[in-house]
Structure 1
Amino acid sequence: MMRVGSDRTLVAILQHKSLFFQLMDFVQHSLNNPSLEFTISDYQKLLARTAEGMDSGKRRTFLNTLGLENLNQNGLLSYLDRRSGRFRLQQFVLDMLRHLDSKRLRELSSAELNQLLKQLEECERQLSDSNIIWLDDNPDFQEMVESAHNTLNEVNARLQSNVRALKGQASHLAELVDRQDYTRLERSEQVGFALNEILRIHERHVTPMLQFLDERLDISRAAHSTKSELHGSQSPMALVQKIINRFYEHRKGDHVTRLQRVQFHILRLGEEVAAIAKSLETYVRYARQERQRYNRTEELYNSLLTAVQEKQQGQLRDFLLKPEHPVFEPSRVFGNFKNFSRTLASNINWPAEQGTDALDEVLRVRLERTPKVLQDNHSKPGKPRSEEEMLKRTTINRIMKAMERFEYDVQQDDIYTVLHEHLCAQMQSYGLPNLVDALAFLGAHGKVEIVSPPRFNKLVYQGQQLSYRLRSYTPKGQKEPVRQAVNVVKSIEMQEREAP
């Protein structure tokens, strides 16, 4: 068998992704195998079934490319054990396949969030080591910097994938509940399963994610007051801020800027997770009410069953429950019970035609009120398709409106502070993350540069803190030599003021 290159093999996997989706679904749902370990026989059957409609040349190329030997030679298999007849794809291949379908993305569990928390704690501990020499040419410092960037980028990537998974699952389950059919028992069972899944996702994934992204979360205090799924001495976002502060304290401005960029992206995920929690709130409340009703029904049934069993002692008399029995107390709201016996009971007037007229009428009215589902679900281009997108567009529109009144023709020495004060006065519901979006509007009117010599400053607003290197803003109309001369004069004046 001729070996096929890794690039062509990956392209073949993407072209035949449905084959691997079938394999993943079979393992997850039929075998209950969360590790996604596949059997060789199942994979060979799917390969043969997929290659049935191909001609001989394409079939040979297809089987050579996606054969287990070729996958293993190209490093796409984590292991291949022919004695047990099992193999597993590399994790990056599984993640790539899941990325193609948001409904197949797996949500981060509380245990995985705690693993990310431990990574942040270890990164912060390494940066706090007094033996580290903060010099750019020091090998220990270079390895530590690379480790810090890798840790924050990995946390950001895992959290972004988690948000996509939560969006896909929440949208799918909410659609399943909204399209319930009152006349089919199978659909009712699916709705019940969907409600249980929504409740599980809200409790096991959405709530821990909100706690992970909470900047002001006190884990030790939250553990006593409310149930917290995180286990550690500090909140994750507080650790991220401490990691950035270590670089800020040692005047590593470039690293501070890069790490803050990752931090802002992580903090923005909190708004998306909050929107997911808000969209599921109605279903969660309904699911909890359904669970309470089911538990109450089961409790009443068990008490009635126990009372009947206690009454059955093998006697021919006195084996029926009396209407005044305490087990019937919760049903008194329906009126008094009548004890029907064989000798005294009158005939019961059952409704004609199997007694389904009233039920049929109720179902008819409800079905008429149910909105019809359109066959074509394609949304019109240009219009927002979700509340998150609408909220994001609304925020951008408010920033654009506020920036219309900004003085672009005036030079500024600290553009961050000036822009922050302008947005505080002109924009409603302003937050520090909006400052980064507003900076993009300055590029068309002037130039933003880091001041020389480098200086640092910080902004504190509504409980959030932004540390940054000072940047100046120069309008397009001002000439470059004039601006450089002004900067030189200001630098000399500053040095004279700092001199004793």
Structure 2
Amino acid sequence: MKTNAQHTLSILFQHIEIFFNLIDYYNVQSKTISEFQISVYESILQSYIRKKVADTHDQKRIASALSLDNLKQCNLLAYMNDAKGIFRIQNDLLSVIKNIDSTRLRELGQPDLDIIYAQIKTQYDYFVQQQGHYSHYNPEFMEHLDALMTIMQEIFSKIEHNVRALDGSAKRLSEIVDSHNFEKHSPTEQVKKAFAEITRIYQRNILPTLAFLTEEAMTKDSSAIYLIRKIREAFSQTTFYEEASAIATIEMRLLSFVEVITQIRRKLHQYVEMNQRQRALYNAIEQHYNELNSLIINQLDSKLTGKTLSSQHEFFHRATIFNQLISWSRSSLTKPLIELPSDLNTQEAYEYIRSNLKDVEAFQSKKHIPAKKIIDVREHILKRKRVERIKRLMHSFHATECDDLYLEIHRYLSNKLDQYSLKDIYDARAFLYKKYTITTTLKRNTIQYNEHELSYPIKKIVEKNQYEITR
């Protein structure tokens, strides 16, 4: 029996749990939710009808309305390939199902966990009052026992159901954030909403549920897991062995969700931190912009024109540190390196570098891959350690006025550095303390050492005054 599209949609949303189970299946299998297997859908559909629908007529009606042939006839499927055994739901309908799917997370909030605790606490108080006097012939006791087992099954079903939905929502939101390039584009409205939803899920669902299921909380009387354990221990000392075993099984299954929730928490926590960093960066930019805008407005005259702010203005004081960047090269390298001052504000440096990356021609040009050199690991480590020793030695290098910098460094290192060679002068030159000013003359000089010769233009150094050092 075929049904029209409107009636089919009505039945679909009445029994939307079928599609929730389908999505949960693919989340557990760590597969992308774009195509579904026909056999998996039909198996879930038949299982749902058999367990949830009692009337035979209703079973046939739902099976017919939600069959893939009827869904295809009602244009609710993007396509169905019988040869490959796959089908795809229309994107708009799938998006609606996923959005409704996210509402299942409401049952994992702190208020609902408090309701669960209240239900368990009521049963706990009753069984504690009995003081172990449990009897199969006490009608009131058996009613409480039946209520306890029903509550335990409902708690497990609810948490299992929602942990799967939580995992699915985490994957969906992660895909949205990971697909966005934050280095090239500002966050879109979709990404902002994803960040907001991640933060809400993290605070409202992840943390309370993790606290509810964590074993450390079992030592507290306010924990539902603690009460479940105490009830189980009380039953284990009586002849109600089956009930004690059932409670123990549910207790262990609940605790097994801790690892799943912990993994989701770690995944979402990195996005929460990313959102906080993005917000801090935006606030810093907005603060600097407003400050600069106020300065410009104060400079305007009646013609709405004004003078350019001087580079020595107090507003630019935090950026003066970039004037102290030192570009240097080692004789054994062909790629220039850069060393930042020790007192550099890293937040401002990273923002400055990031904002200028787009103007670097090297990133736009064709990449040149150098030939691979086979170098011994031990030799590489020794070279690194040698450069570190030179750097430490140059911290103690003092020359108030020097007419020949390279000659002075040569004399200094030849007395302090083991296995010194002339090429070490270039390494040491890069670590020269910033209080010196270097000038190159038109004269040249030659240094001879251990049958090697170095010819170079003479460089002089002069110690800066205190004002120049602090600039």
TM-score clears 0.5 = no
In the superposition, the TM-score normalised over structure 1's length comes to 0.42
Query: Which entry has the higher C-alpha Rg, 1 or 2?
Result: 2
TM-score by length of 2: 0.44
